[in-house]
Amino acid sequence: MGRTLAEKVWDDHVVRHAEGEPDLLYIDLHLLHEVTSPQAFDGLRLAGRKVRRTDLTIATEDHNTPTVDIDKPIADPVSRVQLETLRRNAAEFGVRIHSLGDVEQGVVHVVGPQLGLTQPGTTVVCGDSHTSTHGAFGALAFGIGTSQVEHVLATQTLPLAPFRTMAITVEGELPEGVTAKDLILAIITRIGTGGGQGYVLEYRGSAIRSLSMEARMTVCNMSIEAGARAGMIAPDRTTFDYLQGRPHAPKGEDWDAAVAYWETLVTDDDAVFDHEIFIDATELTPFVTWGTNPGQGAPLGASVPDPASFADPSERTAAENALKYMGLQAGTPLREVKVDAVFVGSCTNGRIEDLRAAAAVVEGRQVADGVRMLVVPGSVRVALQAIEEGLDKVFTAAGAEWRHAGCSMCLGMNPDQLAPGERCASTSNRNFEGRQGKGGRTHLVSPQVAAATAVLGHLAAPSDLSADINAEV
């Protein structure tokens, strides 16, 4: 019988298979950041162990790093200690690190792909749930806890429980103004925050194949929000073109050998998925969340749902709690929801295409009075590219704040936070209570919706702006 993409990558990494034991898998690439690694390095030290493969390990600083005044000492002493701890651990154990101020610094899931380290058919792990991002390259990539970080540092392997496979087939063309973000938000609302539990998702179909690498990363990034072990997309010409010439992409004969291997990384025609769902891309519209988990979403054209409309009692209670926390009334059109802040950035939507899309919407316009718009590039490289294209000027001319690279307001571990009660349209991945700051309220949106929302001051799509473009002309 044929095998799925995920099964092929898994099989190629089994170090040891024994009855009654989890398979021991080899890890090709281990990404580290400051938050989930200190206790792992402590564990190594206590046991007198080394990092087995420093040449397959790389660290960057992202969660705690400030996005302004990066040349000054970090104000929060606890953040500073955490960053210093990573620097010390990297030096002691011989791990390559990109610290604040380095040209390769940035959000770990933006840095790996742009360096060309994330490659098809590899296993990629990081102590960070959004490691699923790297599945966009046909890698088997998943987030791990700190105990597993220590395990990978010490052994370059992980014992892993078997997974099930789910195909998410998206056919047709995405309508104008509908993005990868809208697609993944719609998928999560459809299958729920636990719908992917135990599964590796494979996104396929014509709509997926036509996505750029940046857009594919947006889709795979949020696989975890559906509870999935990982999300993957089969590598193709788009993938190879993205990788060729990047610093760590294979070169010469190695490139040819790699491509020959990568081309085998497709689900066989006779492979069977444990579960399949189908989505018609042509029916999708801009999608936003109204609640406090990523599965509580609706088309932008819809209204805040009535909790009573949920048949499942736990979903009903969750909706009631969410509306209370979000300060929303059932039946309010989502387009009437006013915001205080807009955040463009994160490992979900902090890449160059995302910044281009947001800039195109705000260009020649102004951020609405009373709205604060933060634009945070996913990495220094993304920032430099954006500056070269003049996007930073577009944002600042519109009244937005152009910041330094990092995780920033996606989770507010640095000073970029919402005040209690503030409402934000955010291109990030989680609308959990307090995620962007204590008492803050988050609506997950695409970069285009974020930008249109910043201009109008309420949740909106770029199409809502077309009237005033004509007026200006």
Partner 1 sequence: MEKFTTHTGRAVPLRRSNVDTDQIIPAHWLKKVTRSGFEDGLFEAWRKDESFILNQPERAGATVLLAGPEFGTGSSREHAVWALQNYGFAAVISSRFADIFRGNSLKNGLLTVLLPQETVERLWALTEADPTAEITVDLEAREVRADGIVAAFELDDNVRWRLLNGLDDISITLRNEPDIAAFEATRPTFKPRTLPVA
Q: Which residues, numbered 370-399, are part of the site for partner 1 (CB under 8 A)?
A: none
Q: Which residue stretch of 54-62, 165-173, 366-374, 464-472 sits at the interface with partner 1 (rule: CB under 8 A)?
A: 54-62
Residue 133 binding partner 1, by CB under 8 A: no
Q: Which is closer to partner 1, CB of 146 or CB of 463?
A: 146
Q: Which two tokens stand for residue 300?
A: 């932008």
Query: What is the CA 144 to chain-centroid distance, rounded?
Result: 15
Residue 116 binding partner 1, by CB under 8 A: yes
Binders of partner 1 in range 273-332 (CB under 8 A): 292-293, 295, 314-315, 317-318, 321
Q: What 3-state class would DSSP assign to 230?
A: strand
Q: Which of 75, 81, 387, 419 binds partner 1 (CB under 8 A)?
A: 81
Task: Label residues 10-31 b or e (16+ Cβ within 10 Å = b).
Answer: bebbeeeeeeeeebbbbbbbbb
Q: Which residue stretch of 58-66, 174-182, 387-395, 446-454 sits at the interface with partner 1 (rule: CB under 8 A)?
A: 58-66
Phi-psi region for residue 161, left (φ > 0), alpha (ψ -120 to 50) or beta?
beta
Q: Which of 113, 127, 231, 462 binds partner 1 (CB under 8 A)?
A: 127
Q: Which is closer to partner 1, CB of 22 or CB of 175?
A: 22
Q: Compute the half-sphere exposure of residue 177: CA atoms within 13 Å on the CB side of its CA.
A: 18
Binders of partner 1 in range 200-229 (CB under 8 A): 224-225, 227, 229
Q: Which is closer to partner 1, CB of 355 or CB of 407?
A: 407
Binders of partner 1 in range 412-451 (CB under 8 A): 412-413, 430, 432-435, 438
Q: Which is closer to partner 1, CB of 37 or CB of 453?
A: 37
Q: Rounded to the nearest 5°, which phi and psi values hold at 23?
A: -65, 145
Kindly state the number of chain residues that form the binding site for partner 1, as judged by CB under 8 A.
86
Residue 82 binding partner 1, by CB under 8 A: yes
Q: Output helix, strand, coil percentages for the chain, rounded to the nearest 5.
A: 40, 20, 40
Reference 330, options 350, 306, 297; nearest CA is 306
For residue 416, CA distances in Å to 189, 299, 403, 419, 431 come to: 28, 28, 10, 10, 16
Q: Which is closer to partner 1, CB of 133 or CB of 448?
A: 133
Q: What 3-state class would DSSP assign to 275?
A: strand
Q: Is the Cα dihedral 321, 322, 326, 330 positive or negative? A: negative
**Closest distance between partner 1 and the C-beta of residue 316, in Å?**
10
Structural element, H or E, at residue 213: helix 213-221
Q: Which of 7, 23, 62, 128 binds partner 1 (CB under 8 A)?
A: 128
Q: Which of 5, 6, 9, 29 binds partner 1 (CB under 8 A)?
A: 29
Rg (C-alpha) for the chain, rounded Å, is 22
Q: Which is closer to partner 1, CB of 21 or CB of 269?
A: 21
Residue 188 binding partner 1, by CB under 8 A: no
Q: Which residue stretch of 32-40, 171-179, 328-336, 385-393 sits at the interface with partner 1 (rule: CB under 8 A)?
A: 32-40
Structural element, H or E, at residue 113: helix 108-114
Strand bridging mode 372-375 / 401-402:
parallel
Residue 346 binding partner 1, by CB under 8 A: no
Q: Which of 172, 209, 238, 255 binds partner 1 (CB under 8 A)?
A: 255
Q: Which is closer to partner 1, CB of 50 or CB of 237?
A: 50
Q: Which is closer to partner 1, CB of 148 or CB of 303?
A: 148
Axis-axis angle for helices 447-456, 352-362 (nearest 10): 30
